[in-house]
Amino acid sequence: MAGHVRKGSILLWVVIYMGLVKVPALTDYWNGSRLFRIGFPASAISGRKFHAISSALHLSDPKKDAENMKKKGTLAYDRLGKLKPVYQQIRDACKTFFHPHQNIAVDERMVASKARIVLKQYMKEKPTKWGNMGGVDHSDALISFYTVLRKTRKWYRALFYHFIDIAVLNAFIIHQRIAVARNQKPKTQREFREALVLELADWNADFTLIKILFLREGREGNVATGFTDYNTT
């Protein structure tokens, strides 16, 4: 479980970093040539492992997905089943940590995707014409500067990356409001994202160090199965 948390945290900060530092191709982040010597992502994960994790990314239980697929063509079939778990977690977090003002504007957002899914729509008046529905124009504009969205054939992965964008932007807006309330100068969105990437990367580095020390203690006979071995005989 701890390994999955670590890999998930690496994937998270790497894709946010990719929104800050743009290169022509995904593989260029791990390109060792003089022209593309970007060592930050490579310091935590290899390009092959990043591709493997992102390609295997699922947001739901495969067993439950299989059960849901058996219901396809009936009213019991959940078209959003592959997205529901992470959607519900984000929804609960938003309701817990932030309460918006009384007057709220609601609009639709297009999440770029040409995956084969009945939820997809074409809207010729939108800057992004093909995609899935989502948020509001100002949010769209802020996200577009540093979007983490990667090309993917799976619609639920496209929405997952979009959810990361929304979560980071919401955190940035809350940061701004807290800074103003404390009479402090808020960070720009770029500064905020840079600080977030470094904090997540440092957390992952600390997590890895603790794991290394724990395993080293185990090899030396001081730790057996997660508990210190006190010999009282």
Tens of pLDDT, residues 39-53: 888 888 899 999 898
Is the model more confident about 149 or about 207?
A: 149
- pLDDT tens per residue, range 207-229: 554 444 444 555 444 433 333 33
* pLDDT higher than threshold 80 for residue 60: yes
**How much is the pTM?**
0.68
What angle (nearest 5°) sits at the alpha carbon of residue 127, between those of residues 58 and 57? Answer: 10
Buried b (16+ CB within 10 A) or exposed e, 140-153: bebbeebbbbeebe
Q: Cβ(115)–Cβ(155) under 8 Å?
A: yes
Q: What is the pLDDT of residue 163?
A: 86
Which position has the higher pLDDT, 141 or 169?
Answer: 169
What is the DSSP-derived secondary structure letter of residue 63? H
Instruction: Label residue 175 by pLDDT band (50, 70, 90).
Output: very high
Tokens 């390009």 belong to 47
What SS3 state is found at 228?
Answer: strand
Structure tokens at 216: 């080293």
CA distance 26 to 34: 16
Q: Which is more confidently placed, 217 or 57?
A: 57
Q: What is the pLDDT of residues 26-40, one digit of tens each?
A: 889 998 888 878 888
What gap in Å lies between CA 108 and CA 145, rounded to an integer? 19
Contact 70, 94 (CB under 8 A): no
Cα–Cα distance for residue pair 188/175, rounded to 1 Å: 10
Measured distance CA(1)–CA(114) in Å, rounded: 33
Strand ranges across the sheet with 109-112: 109-112, 130-134, 121-122
Distance between CA atoms of 192 and 203, rounded to whole angstroms? Answer: 16
Rounded to an integer, the average pLDDT of 193-205 is 86
- Helix, coil or strand: residue 145: helix
Q: Helix (H, G, I), strand (E, B), or coil: what is residue 111? A: strand
